[in-house]
Amino acid sequence: MSSITVVGSINMDIVAMTDKYPSHGETVFGNSMVLFSGGKGANQATACAKLGKKVYLIGAIGEDAFAAELTKRLVQNRVDTTLIKIVPNVPTGSALITVDSSAENTMLVIKGANDSLTAEDILERINTIEDSKVLLIQMEIPVEAVIQAMKAAKRKGMFVILDPAPAEGIVLEALQYADIITPNLQETYTLTGIKADSEESAIKAAEHFHLHFGMKKSIIKMGGSGLVLYDEGKTLFIPPLKVKAIDTVGAGDSFAGALACAIADGKTLEEAAKFAVIVSGIKVTRKGAQDGIPTLEEVKQYCKENGITTG
């Protein structure tokens, strides 16, 4: 079975639930607080593993209590952690997340050990991998490491999925090595200046990626409004799953992991995108960026109960 390689951040998510966000200088009471495993790299690797794929995670952690707990949870979810770098005297990355009553969230990320991942670290580790068809990568680690991972993956003939989050850290060179880019609304606006909140405007954004950045394939995610798939000039609108969202943290990561799994299985981009919509749709009905990700069996059961075909 072919594997997937994920390169990215590993964080402990400190999540506070509240009815409303405080204004500047205001103190409000929250409803609850909980620690979840997080980091876009770890989330996406966990999604791939829960969906039945062998997955390697390349990232960096410290030597603290957060690191031990995060590694334990990754292993429990059957993520291969042997390529994770351990950085002495540097704290493991963390994220302070607030989720309001509408299930929307804000996030403040403390990079910690994630910022210690170098291009040399990436090359040393990715060169040991021989069975991966897909590289899944984001922008929460140093850009030099991102570029090195993408270059190495292309040399190995891997399909490269770039999740441009956070978009502020992206460089044009990264786009040269991506086979597909999968921005959300905010990332699309940051990169193109286009507010992609409708099918028409999302198509314009996808065309912008093609004309100005040479991206022949893109998925413009519009959150609860669905997405637009752009594949070498052809466009397709895919509606969202009709669910009641309670926690959107990690929805994009579950989407990315599901997309990578389907592509690794030889599915078309359309089939892969539709599968990813289902997985991320189920995820938002559950709490936790990783805990809320469904297993492959849970996805199959959901589709059976709701008369959905996945291609």
Q: Which residues are annotated as a binding site?
A: 11-13, 39-43, 140, 184, 221-226, 247, 249, 252-253, 283, 286, 288
- Report the distance separating Cα 68 and Cα 197, nearest Å: 41
What contacts 301, CB < 8 A, 6 or more positions away? none
For residues 291 and 70, is the Cβ–Cβ distance under 8 A? Answer: no
The binding site for ATP consists of 184, 221-226, 252-253
Bond from prior residue into 166 cis (ω within 30 degrees of 0): yes
User: End-to-end distance of the chain based on CA atoms, in angstroms?
Assistant: 19
The binding site for substrate consists of 11-13, 39-43, 140, 253
- Is residue 121 part of the annotated active site? The answer reads no
In sequence order, what are the beta bridge partners of 220? 228
For β-strands 60-61 and 85-86, DSSP reports them as parallel
Q: Counting beta carbons within 10 angstroms of the beta carbon of residue 110, is it exposed (0 to 12), middle (13 to 18) or buried (19 or more)?
A: middle
The binding site for K(+) consists of 247, 249, 283, 286, 288
231, 253, 265, 291: which is the annotated catalytic residue? 253
Beta strands in the chain (DSSP E): 3-7, 11-17, 32-38, 55-58, 60-61, 85-86, 93-99, 105-110, 132-137, 159-162, 180-181, 217-221, 227-231, 234-238
For residues 163 and 137, is the Cβ–Cβ distance under 8 A? Answer: yes
Q: Which residue numbers are catalytic?
A: 253
